[in-house]
Structure 1
């Protein structure tokens, strides 16, 4: 039996790819002179036939696709995963290779894996999704001259695509006020480092501001922080609902925490929305499954926009920075 690739010629590759022999030669030796689609077709045919061209030729062909790293807490936060889906959707059909790095949690700063990038491999650009940054890390990125764009986080030294979380919190507060609620509470994810402002805290700031503007106040005793573990969050929510002068409205910093509130209320036989209104944040599948009123972020669009901005920076390097703020909106369902 003939060994894979043995005896396979450039003519075989051309026939499989349905292009001319000269096009195969160009794709391997001068890849910038053929379209990305043609180059990919030739490379796929070469791979399928186990054709082994000269190493220098195949390396040149594969290098024309820019290699972009995307790092974020994708296994920890559904919202981050939807942002990643937006990045991948925008990358389809484009001459880019996307390499995904998962950082398990965004609750600490700085992220260990992020601090080690891009030593993990050759990168032409980097998207940082929903992760805090410290100054040494930003300085390192600048020293590497690596085009970098932040998504759902920001820093004055880097371009970013972020959500106006303050406005989202204000939307939640205004909606609960419009519903005639009187005693307000908040549940957010606890952070292990106070050196940066988290999205949850920005959402709390907007929520608190909306209440103050209408002559109401958020009782500090009814502001609680927990972990994004459903059972732990449910225990915290239950404690909140057992408090003297129980709240009749709770804004949760994300949909998982809102789900924990709904479970705790059910255990305590508190009727939703009659006796307790609940608003979440993100508009994930959890919110839709529970028919939860929530603040919807343009999650996938933020990933699209982040990749677009990064590719623009890679094509035309510039010291000018770009900051895009996307606005969320409220989705009214059955919990308010």
Structure 2
């Protein structure tokens, strides 16, 4: 009986390493077209039979990119995905989505298991922190990874400065003559990292303090994500005898809940209460909401471009910082 052809035989015939053969079959986007053709030609000549899905993917030259994000919880994530898909264009890349319900926690088992269960060539992580165990695993597996909204020294990232965003809101409200301030943010399930909401609060509080204003702890409310919990928390804040005349909500959904609470309490907007959100979502435009505009599509596009470059050229981590802009509308 003739000996079965192995991956070692293919590597020898193609004049490449075993790891290159494996990459050509399982992660074709990570090798050049010429190398992939050389490996496939050697495999065909020797009668080598790899796993069916691997050879099919290699012949298409398709790479598999995973995107993990809290898609079902945050409307802004869909706009980032639009930017990712726009950057892919006609490139031979499959984009596979993985949903994590909340961004208000540290790394999940889903994220920890993706490098193995997802059979990925690259990964984009949106608005989810990486603990050191997950970061180490991604590094050990040499899985090209780009982060959006968060930073880690080992990985490429695309981000905005949330602290600056909070400062923009404070400066805007001060310029409108407000002296009593409130904040509505999303409660975290873990203190293992500093969330965008916490950073926005820090910038807001610091800018107020520099202008001689105090953001009292009693005027800070942290709640669950969604309109109903936001409305309940805002009603509690706005029912106090010394209620604030201006509230910064850490995202547009929380701001919408604040507007609903103000309406239920008979408060005029912006005469009795000014409200500012964050993201500049379609919801913000519909509500005529003053908000901080994030370059959402641009961040997704930039992340995919970074990842495509990283697939071909390993190297030191790079950061792309995008600018925030306050958009004044009718709620302030």
TM-score for the superposition, normalised by structure 2: 0.83
* Contact 1:168-1:327 at 8 Å conserved across structures: no
Separation in 2, partners of 1:56, 1:275: 63
Q: Tell me how many residue pairs correspond in the alignment.
A: 284
Displacement of 1:186 in angstroms is 0.2
- Correspondence list, 1:254-293, <5 A: 254-293=251-290
Range with bigger deviation, 325-334 or 89-98: 89-98
Q: Which runs of 4+ in 1 moved over 2 A?
A: 54-60
Q: CA RMSD in A?
A: 1.6
* Contact 1:111-1:132 at 8 Å conserved across structures: no
Match of 1:326 in 2: 322
- Correspondence list, 1:124-135, <5 A: 124-135=121-132
Write the deviation string for residues 68-107 of structure 1: whole angstroms up to 9, x where unpaired.
Answer: 1111111111111211111011112112111111111112
Q: Where do 5+ consecutive residues of structure 2 fail to align?
A: 1-31, 35-51
Separation in 2, partners of 1:230, 1:100: 25
* Contact 2:67-2:96 at 8 Å conserved across structures: yes
* Contact 2:66-2:118 at 8 Å conserved across structures: no
Displacement of 1:232 in angstroms is 1.7
Separation in 2, partners of 1:118, 1:56: 16
* Contact 1:281-1:295 at 8 Å conserved across structures: yes
TM-score for the superposition, normalised by structure 1: 0.82
* 1:66 to 2:59 alignment: no
Secondary structure, aligned partner of 2:117 = coil
* Contact 1:167-1:327 at 8 Å conserved across structures: no
* 1:84 to 2:65 alignment: no
Range with bigger deviation, 203-212 or 179-188: 203-212
Q: Where do 5+ consecutive residues of structure 1 fail to align?
A: 1-30, 34-53
